[in-house]
Amino acid sequence: MAETITETIQCDVAVVGTGMAGMAAAIFAAGRGLSTVCVGKPSEMSFASGCLDLFARIPATGTQTAQGFDDPFEGIETLSRCQPGHPYARLTRDEIAAGFKAFTDFMGDAGLPYHCSPGANQKIITPAGTLKSTFCVPATMMAGSRALAGKNPVLIVDILGLKGFGARQMAQTLKAHHPEINSVSIAFPGRETAGDLMCERLAWDLETPDTLNRFIDLLRPHVKGYTAVGLPAILGIYRFSELLATIQDQLGVGVFEIPTLAPSVTGMRTREAFLTRAASAGIRHFPVFVKEVAVDEDFRFFVTQGTQTLEVCARHLLLGSGRFLGRGLGKGDNEIQEMLFGLPVIQPADRGDWFSPDFFDPAGHPVNRAGIETDDAFRPLSADGKVFHHRLYAAGSILAHQDWKRERSGSGLSIATAFKAVSAIADDMK
Amino acid sequence: MDTMQTSVLIVGGGTTGTGLARDLALRGICCVLIDKKDINAGASGANHGLLHSGARYVFKDGETAEECRIENRLLKELASHCIEPTGGLFVGVAGDDEDYIKAFPDLCRRYGIFATQVSCAEARQMEPCLAEDIIAAYAVEDAVVDPFMLSLDNAADAEAHGAKILRNTRLTGFKMDKGRICAAIVENTRSGKTFEIEADQVVNASGAWADQVAAMAGAHIDMSYSKGSLLITQSRMSQQVINRLRPASDADILVPGGTVSIIGTTSVHIDSLEDIRPTNEEVDVIIQEGSKMIPKLASTRYIRAYAGVRPLVRSPGGGDRDISRNFTLKPHEEDGLENLITITGGKLTTYRLMAERTADVVAARLNNTRPCLTATRKLPPSPKGRWTEPGRAPKVWMARSDARDTLICECEMVSESMVDEIVASLKHEGAVPTLEEVGRRSRIGKGPCQGTFCSFRLAAYLYRRGQLDQAVGMDQVREFVNERWKGFRPLVRDKEIMRVELQESFLCALFGMDED
């Protein structure tokens, strides 16, 4: 490989991973004027709901039932007291808030605005008809959250052939909480006879004016008397703000999106917003999967671009490679490994203890808390408890002692830990 | 309290119970079958689906070997739609007991079982998955049977001849008058409604629960419970059934079924029937032992582990593997009971014979002299069992080639129209089409995604069709996922852990299904 290298890129920070943690870290690093390289394949962002969770729940423990929080910061304060090893316990409220502000500002500038309410979680409707607590809600979902809070009449619309998104299921499930809710099914214009529709395809379709107008005409007879109309998240990949405004204007009601299962359009929008703005923000992004990094004083690895092989030589490296889906963690026969550096992974002693017999165990599965141990600046530790490399950092779901799925803390952990790690890198570069 | 009257009450809807219901109905005897869950919810639905040639039993249990031989040939004729006549191989692996192997062909001959020696090279040509170091191979008449289709079709034919099948109906006790059961007190587990069934004769066909049912009438059966765990591979490993030619041990039998294969079993003595599930240790043993005969088992992907309980009637001394796999028919006369009969033990292959023998006793007690018809009359296929066969749904879906018929389960290719058929059939039987019931009648959730997407899609579809109301759907998804999880948890290895992570992020992080 070495003989075909066409360029060596020297940079202050290399970010490995392009999930929430990787994107956030790259945004923060570039925002601080650091030269930033970001590597990672299109990640499991295509599974993302589009909402930014911060914290909503402390899972049950042996002695305590699970505890829900309307105020995420109050929750984090309680959590930090009872779980001092949790990554959030290493962060101040100001650091978390500053991270969210920098991230949502970037996304807002990229055309993906969020609504956050400083001391409170908001509720969105899920495709199961349950209510989810989250911190920042994409603007396209806000009319639903407002209608829920105001107890206003809501209509949910689904599309024939779009499976796993059932308006009647949502309405029936939500009725107990929100009595004024109804559902209707419509056929998508131009795809009336095609079964098995995909959200992405429909989102592209709606970006054409003719399809959009026909879609609005189909909705019109159903919306009278409702304050808000909920649709699957298919209102375009790029021009969603504009499409939403058009539909609301034409129908004269509030319209909101409901996230869908994978592959989700909401996750694609986040990724696209990041990618389209990355270059102008000074981030060099390579959509490759890095399997090997040479470590001396600096971090060196190869990336390919077209037919070229480039060497990246980074002063700092931030590991935002995620858990199993992101391939940050992997599994040997009987134990979990960190895939890039072979860092020690905190994990249950026995494979038999990884999972609870109850999939929905309110305590979560023990394996969920497996991950990388770090110091207060989020630098991974070696087996001897010393820092593995004084310029290696980790952020996001790869960290140990958290259970993002059960805490509803996925985006928040990524954003906040990336923010603090990048602050430390920036200090180091001064 | 409501009372229902019948000639014969059958407790237990496994292969024996449903086979008995049909046998009695064909003799013109009225019967009601109750099951606390559903058809084949116990061991009848948790086995290899193997129609034994009998060769497996020639060493220790000649009677069972002969019974298997006869029933095997009979069922291939009479229930051919439930059976794939794959044939089978018995193979010895380097290190296996050579004296045992040498004795095998003579013993087979003694019990009239065909066992044709094939060269090891020939065997490996037939089944390339076999280990290179096999030392002997015999071809036998094993076959594969779909136990769900079999029982559903037996139940359907019984109903067509006047029998009543009551699912979700649990026996809570008997009203006794000296040595006579006057009535069975039963409860509908869905509605909580209690009622009585008055019957002239009561047959206890409750499998591993036989001692518990007998105890309600004051009788005692000394039973031993042996848990057997099995694994399902993602793809079909062999064309034929492959048996290890050695004394019964772990992971000796690989059975193909449609698009998958099943390897098992273990034999673990258990004391309680609560919470029967395969363990990590059993999974490791099955893979390790199985891969000596079929090396690919060490690296293949598995989609589910499951466990059933063999109801073994104890004879003094000896381990669970030594207890006869023959069946036990107990008329309970020695217990001073005049109208209870217990039929338990035995095997899937001999279910018809067990039903016949039991029906003979019942008929004699009722002074019914009509002959058994199940040994001569074909089992008619019913629509109920149609969608349980692996690989069937994809074929039908392709043949129908209607793009609008959206697939709910992409792994097993179960479409909306197939779900409609199952729902119609369930409603026709008076059952409520829940996720669990539709799942049991089809392959939904049984593919590699193990219900991650399809359980939820199925719920959405049933809501759309007006079959689910209010918030019950999410409870059903929770139950469905947990039932799949039971079989998947011990299998989570490298790739599977990604899927579990994805599933948890949908069901918990997004839907909040870990909340009350």
Which member of A49, A323, A352 has the closest CB to residue B510?
Answer: A49
The amino acid occupying position B231 is L
Interface of A with B in 111-140 (CB under 8 A): 126-132
Give the closest of B403, B486, B493 to A195, CB-based. B403
pLDDT digits (tens, 9 = 90+) for B11-24: 999 999 999 999 99
Nearest to B129 by CA among B242, B244, B52, B48: B242
pLDDT in tens, A192-219: 876 788 899 999 999 999 999 999 999 9
pLDDT confidence band for A91 (50 / 70 / 90):
very high
- Which residues of A, range 207-246, sit inside 8 Å of B by Cβ? none
| pLDDT for A3 beyond 70 | no
Instruction: Give chain B's radius of gyration (CA, Å).
Output: 23
Task: Give the per-residue pLDDT at A44.
Answer: 65
Contact B511/A130, CB-based, under 8 Å? yes
- What was the pLDDT predicted at B194? 96
Q: Grade residue B282 by pLDDT with cuts at 50, 70 and 90.
A: very high
pLDDT at residue A63 in the model: 87
Contact B85, B143 (CB under 8 A): yes
CA distances from A376 to A26, A76, A407 (A): 20, 16, 21
For residues B445-467, average pLDDT: 88
Contacts of A80 (CB under 8 A, 6+ apart): A86, A88, A89
Write down the mean pLDDT value for chain A. 94
Q: Searching chain B, which residue's CA lies closest to the CA of residue A325?
A: B498
Tens of pLDDT, residue by residue over B62-91, are 999 999 999 999 999 999 999 999 999 999
Which pLDDT belongs to residue A164?
Answer: 84
pLDDT at B390: 67
Give the pair of three-digit tokens for residue B165.
Answer: 């099948």
By C-alpha distance, the chain A residue nearest B408 is A163
Q: What does the pLDDT look like over B325-356, one tens digit per residue? A: 588 999 999 899 999 999 998 899 999 999 99
Q: Which domains does chain A have, with CATH numbers?
A: 2-110+268-429 (3.50.50.60), 127-258 (3.40.50.1860)
Rounded to two decimals, the ipTM of the complex is 0.95
3-state secondary structure of A331: strand
CB contacts, 8 Å: A161 with chain B: 404, 406
Binned at pLDDT 50, 70 and 90, residue A43 comes out as low
- Determine whether the interchain pair B474/A166 forms a contact, defined as Cβ–Cβ distance below 8 Å: no
Residue B67, CA distances (Å) to B104, B349, B350 in order: 18, 9, 7
Per CB-CB distance under 8 Å, the chain B contacts of A367 are: 497
A195/B404 CB distance under 8 A: yes
Q: What is the pLDDT of residue A1?
A: 47
What is the mean predicted confidence (pLDDT) over A108-120?
Answer: 93
The reply to whether residue A355 touches residue B510, judged by beta carbons under 8 angstroms, is no
pTM of the model: 0.85
Q: What percent of chain A has pLDDT over 90?
A: 86
Nearest CB among A259, A362, A367 relative to B514 is that of A362
Residues A315 and A408 sit within 8 Å (Cβ to Cβ):
no
Do B493 and A364 lie within an 8 Å CB cutoff? no
pLDDT at B431: 80
Query: Residue A352: closest CA among chain B residues belongs to which residue?
Result: B280
Nearest to B505 among A47, A194, A365 (CB): A47
Least confidently predicted of A396-410, B277-291, B321-335: B321-335
Dump pLDDT digits (tens) for B214-243. Answer: 999 999 999 989 999 999 998 899 999 999
Average pLDDT rounded to a whole number, residues B103-116? 96
Q: Could you give the maximum distance between any two Cα atoms of chain B, in Å?
A: 68
B278 shares contact with chain A (CB less than 8 Å): no
| Subunit contact A360:B505, Cβ cutoff 8 A | no
pLDDT of residue A17: 95
Query: Quick check: A262 and B502 CB within 8 A?
Result: yes
- What pLDDT score does B494 carry? 72
pLDDT for residue B324 is more than 60:
no
Catalogue all structural domains in chain B, each as residue range(s) with its CATH number.
2-43+148-222+325-365 (3.50.50.60), 83-143+224-310 (3.30.9.10), 386-510 (no CATH)
Residue B407 φ/ψ, nearest 5 degrees: -80, 125
Place of tokens 């018995």: B90
Yes or no: say if A53 and A135 are a contact pair by the CB < 8 Å rule.
yes
How confident is the model over B126-140, as pLDDT tens digits?
999 999 999 999 999
Question: What is the predicted pLDDT for the residue at B315?
Answer: 62
**In this complex, do B508 and A357 lie within 8 Å of one another by their Cβ atoms?**
no
Query: Are the beta carbons of B489 and A164 separated by less than 8 Å?
Result: no
Give pLDDT, residue A332.
Answer: 74
Q: Select the more confidently predicted residue: B510 or B446.
A: B510
**pLDDT > 70 fraction of chain A, expressed in percent and rounded:** 98
Render pLDDT for A367-403 as a digit per residue (tens, 0 to 9).
Answer: 999 999 999 999 999 999 999 999 999 999 999 999 9
> Is B301 a residue whose pLDDT tops 90?
no
* Side-chain-facing half-sphere of A322: CA atoms under 13 Å: 24
What are the DSSP calls for B140-156, one per residue?
E--EEE-HHHHHHHHHH
Q: Do B457 and A175 touch (CB under 8 A)?
A: no
- Round to whole Å and give the CA distance between B206 and B132: 43
Contact A323 B501 (CB under 8 A): yes
Give pLDDT, residue A263.
78
Confidence check: pLDDT of A352 > 90: no
Is B423 in a helix, a strand, or coil?
A: helix
